[in-house]
Structure 1
């Protein structure tokens, strides 16, 4: 990662964050079991209205539909407390409850709460909240959706008029305010859709989109909303219709197999949609079959022919690992950093590792500098995208450890697996500290159940930073991604592989000859500073490295390691100020002296055949300057 995608906190700053989070956790424990008490409903609604209005004014100050510019010295911070499981109960099995039944710091298992929104939605970077009314008009409560606040690009609370909260969790939010907190998207169900921003002012519960329509009725309602330019409402109708259709029948069951011209067109359209869906999921074999069937019905379909040509290219990539990298590079601006490519993984296999958990192993001999594997990101968020944001998390499970966490990537991964349940299992198979619901996907009431705490830990331990991609990217909006196959590659400071990126296509190459059956490993952190590297490996990935290089470096005295680091910093400063091309004898001799001084801190016998990271920069400078 580039230097300005990293945040450094002083001990005092770290202490303040940790104290704030621990105090909040204690406050929650102290209030556990306290009964719900009534609010001044008017005051609470006014609070939400004022906050929403201030937010609108702030956005307007930076242009219509815009958002406030990021501060130059702030980052969102929140605590990671004790994880809890999402509800896995069916709605029909849950017993209705009232707001007055709520108890503080309690997960009300076996219960369901029916609520109506009675305030505008306050949208913040990491959460959204609004005021909700229970069965009685004077009974209101704050409901806050944390982090996973949207559906199909629209704020969930703004899409809804009436909601059902499965097994509600009543707690204190990060500001110490009482709230019904939603961490798992499947725990909050919209029972009545309505995207009218003023719908919350109405007293009746009869308006909006009710559930339990047929797919055809949802489609007609969606068409009407689209005609009226109520786009969020139209999307909600279509999405709900597709959800019901998925429950009732497979998408290809819409085929009529009728020879009539009109029906033949419908069948061809069904095959085309199935083909494009399979292609986007990289299921090229099925996609090829669907497009071939479409061509049988419509022999002149240029779109189907184009897709079949693309599939032929993808199949060559998958089998031979041969890519047109120049074409991929040229396409990056058009594809938003996501080139059209297939995965090449046949030279590798996943199995248990003697290092840790599962690892990636060579299935055949691989020569030096050959491609080991290529993989498209399962999910990537680029720094220039609105979804990109990092947060400072304080994890009380790990002695209040403070980390910079890719919260935007976490959101994107949860969104993707919610929309594509068939993809959940391969994500859940990755290593994470929290077992959550286990490795098998779960679905209730036609909705995928995703444990966001489990996904958080998987992202924390497996995400890759992509380095600075643009001038306005820093630690608050760093580009990050999740690659499934590459996540099985374990760490070693003296690994046998290196990674390159072409957009979100990760290319793993061998840095030496690798024999069949040998584990593939690469360095997660390439810094030469032993102490900084050990800290980073533990904080980010949760382990201490014990490779041969780390063992040897640990034997050096702290004073020697400090001296080596200071010499390396001197070399870096020299490299920054002195261009190697055309360098004179004085500059070359200065570089050689720096190299020699660093070499003197590296015991020749103990460091034999080990990488000498502190020398990399000055060695490259000397090579470029034409010196051996």
Structure 2
């Protein structure tokens, strides 16, 4: 949704065609024995040259990320697998029931994967490509020259450059072994197996690794220490140390497991932190209360307690300091905000025909907050950072290509689920089409995260998003073109609650963004039990056919799309031609011919048959609004009011108390909200300024509706005066007090 889909853009389609050719060429060699055409030395030299070329540049670059044909992770225990060598491998085959034992003979390199050249016990070498890996893997000592690894059920691929490589997509399919592991051949060991090492010896090594910021290695050493028969007191100290290293590596589930037991000061403090980062804020506060009572002198804990209380309040009340959130989003890179999710008057329920959906649990009014959700995962593209790369994610099986950070997002999610398996049920429960996931959840004590399931869930549920919706809104106001265009975003994220909302072009809710927070508000008054809907893709004002939503596997049947199907092609063609004539009428002379514009608007109106209260007339609203603003510049407030109300009417709004001639004492009331567009804030402000001249009692009421509409569009109202007040930025040349600025 709003991701930068480039599947039909010619300059990118060549990448898709090229990848399909590579796959066809590879499949033609499926089952062939490995026949090395390069010597060991040639492979090593070529890899070193690759590393030299892979240096940062000052220009934004685009890297291709190819999604291979999906395959399941290994669900067989390592003890049941048979060891094979590189010479046993055959091309384009998953070697089920087997494993490779390899040693890295180069330092790693990172592109779309973490790569290294590795050898087996026969000194044969080839490239190993590890996908979805933590980028620190190549920097923190876990993977370096000399590291020994086990690849479960290896897949030998023919790479695009014609060389061979073992590709690993699932995190549980790769095991990195410490230098003392009994499975490492004696000739590969850096030292003799320390069979007599004590728990304290291992703990000291763990502490040294921790102090060097090699937290994953520290965890391994602490685990060795716990397996070396420590005393009860030693074991508790080691567990506390390991818990701290687990916190550093964002393995909060495992940290909580280590922190069960005697409630020491350190244990309580680290437990509160783990719970906080799992967004279990109430439990975190409960632990903090015990900590504050037992250890009142812990100043760091007091600060953390205040933070947990603030998150719990946000979670319970939905009250956020939105202006502060905007400042945080502008300052942080990436703009991940330390905030909680608020779930308001909505709940997930079954629908009659669309699986599950989100429904209101009580009556809400237009502008009310339905929920404010922190992203489960969020990948940010910083256009101001010339060294950040964009990724072109290419899926030859589905013929889909997206430009942006979707590949990074998938890797983030895989890592998060692998580190914290407690998140798996809620994420994998999201819609994933026809993809069939396995039922085994753990193997060899490790969680199984199906990378391809994550990829499918992400493809169907991720949202493209701006840094902030206000920033995007301001950008749209500066556009010269009258016709709004759907904006595509390179940043993206997954918000699970929002993922349950089904599509409708004629929506009743609106999503907006502040950093990695999604704000969803009602865009009309909703009674209890109403299904909340918003558009997955936006209709254009010149739309001539229903939206293509095949990516999600359905066709929109909203009233607008059905009306487009029923409208004669002649009327659609005439409508499009008349809009072109309008552009010419606005631009033909220094002073536009308003009589001609009004005439063309009337002819466009004739191409519609159903009442606006039933079906919005999307080809009318923007030229009507432009004419209303034009009349305000000409100091004709009555005509400005007429066409501002025409704008609202064309979008399905029913407004009382503003019809000309105005009736004194009758309030301005929206009886029915219609199709929402960003520019309606300008429309309401145009009405407010016109009423300032001819009906001052209605001025504030119109501005009130402008504020509500602004709140729906950008998620908050705190910046309204900054945008539309008398001392505002006014990027659209807004009118103040009936006069042109």
CA shift, 1:402, in A, is 3.9
SS at match of 2:392: strand
* CA offsets 1:172-196 (integer angstroms, 9 cap, x no match): 23444321111112211111379xx
Q: SS state of the match for residue 433, structure 1?
A: coil
Do the aligned partners of 1:96 and 1:113 also contact (CA within 8 Å) in 2? yes
Q: Which of residues 107, 119, 129 in structure 2 aligns to 1:144? A: 129
Match of 1:253 in 2: 260
Q: What is the TM-score with the length of structure 2 in the denominator?
A: 0.69
Q: Deviations over 1:118-171 (max 9, x none)?
A: 2343322x223222111112x112212235463568487448711110111112
Deviation (angstroms), 1:493: 0.4
Question: Residues 221 and 237 of structure 1 are in contact (CA less than 8 Å); yes or no, is this contact kept in structure 2?
Answer: no
Contact 1:216 1:241 in 2 (8 A): no
1:534 aligns with 2:547: yes
Q: Secondary structure in 1 aligned to 2:493?
A: strand
Q: Which of 300, 317, 339 is matched with 1:341 structurally?
A: 339
Secondary structure of 1:89's counterpart equals coil
Post-superposition Cα deviations, 1:304-358, rounded to whole Å, max 9, x if no partner, equal 3333334343333333322222232233345543333322214211122234222
2:615 matches 1:610: yes
Which residue of structure 1 lines up, in the alignment, with residue 166 of structure 2? 180
Please state how far the C-alpha of 1:396 moved relative to its aligned partner. Answer: 3.6
* Distance (whole Å) between structure 2 residues aligned to residue 16 and residue 127 of structure 1: 22
Aligned residue in 1 for 2:701: none
**Matched residue, 1:422:** 422
Partner of 1:53: 52
**Cα distance in 2 for residues equivalent to 1:211 and 1:7:** 56
Q: Does 1:487 align with 2:499?
A: yes
CA separation in 1, counterparts of 2:610 and 2:401? Answer: 39
Q: Check the 8 A contact 1:498/1:522 in 2, yes or no.
A: yes
Partner of 2:562: 551
Cα distance per residue 1:435-481 (max 9 Å; x no partner): 3535x68222333221111111111111111136699x9x9981111
Q: Secondary structure at the match of 1:274?
A: helix
Instruction: Describe the shift of the 1:34–1:613 C-alpha distance in structure 2 as closer, same or farther (beyond 3 A).
Output: same
Secondary structure at the aligned position of 1:250 is classed as helix
Question: Using the alignment, how far apart are the partners of 1:241 and 1:488 within structure 2?
Answer: 43
Cα separation, 2, equivalents of 1:356 and 1:458: 17
Matched-pair contact (CA < 8 Å) for 1:376–1:506:
yes
Cα distance change, pair 324–622 in 1 and its aligned pair in 2 (3 A):
farther
Aligned residues: 579
Q: Secondary structure at the match of 2:496?
A: coil
Are 2:186 and 1:237 equivalent residues in the alignment?
no
User: Is the alpha carbon distance of 1:435 and 1:52 closer, same or farther for their aligned partners in structure 2, counting shifts above 3 Å?
Assistant: same
Q: Deviations over 1:99-130 (max 9, x none)?
A: 12111111111211100112343322x22322
Query: Which residue is equivalent to 1:455?
Result: 454
- Conserved in 2, the CA contact under 8 Å of 1:192 and 1:210? no
Name the residue aligned to 1:307.
Answer: 304
- Using a 3 Å threshold, how does the CA distance of structure 1 residues 570 and 320 change in structure 2: closer, same or farther? farther
Q: C-alpha separation between the residues in 2 aligned to 1:352 and 1:209?
A: 61
* From 115, 133, 149, the counterpart of 1:163: 149
Secondary structure in 2 matching 1:614: coil
1:98 correspondence with 2:85 = yes
Say whether 1:207 aligns with 2:190: yes
Unaligned runs of 5+ in 2: 181-185, 225-238, 240-252, 476-486, 633-639, 642-741
Structure 1 residues 517 and 283, CA, compared in 2 at 3 Å: closer, same or farther?
Answer: same
Equivalence for 2:361: 363
After superposition, where does 1:190-589 map in structure 2 within 5 Å?
A: 190-192=176-178, 205-207=188-190, 219-225=203-209, 231=213, 234-241=214-221, 250-253=257-260, 255=262, 267-336=264-333, 337-384=335-382, 390-398=390-398, 400-404=399-403, 406-433=406-433, 435-438=435-438, 442-467=441-466, 478-528=490-540, 529-530=542-543, 534-535=547-548, 537-539=549-551, 541-558=552-569, 560-561=571-572, 564-565=575-576, 586=592
| 1:274-307 superposed Cα distances (whole Å, 9 cap, x missing partner) | 1122112210111011111211221133333333
Based on CA coordinates, which of the two structures has the bigger radius of gyration? 2
Residues 370 and 300 from structure 1, CA distance in 2 versus in 1: closer, same or farther, beyond 3 angstroms? same
> TM-score by structure 1 length?
0.81
Q: Distance in 1 between matches of 2:593 and 2:419?
A: 59
Aligned CA RMSD, in angstroms, stands at 3.9
| Cα deviation, residue 250, structure 1 | 2.1
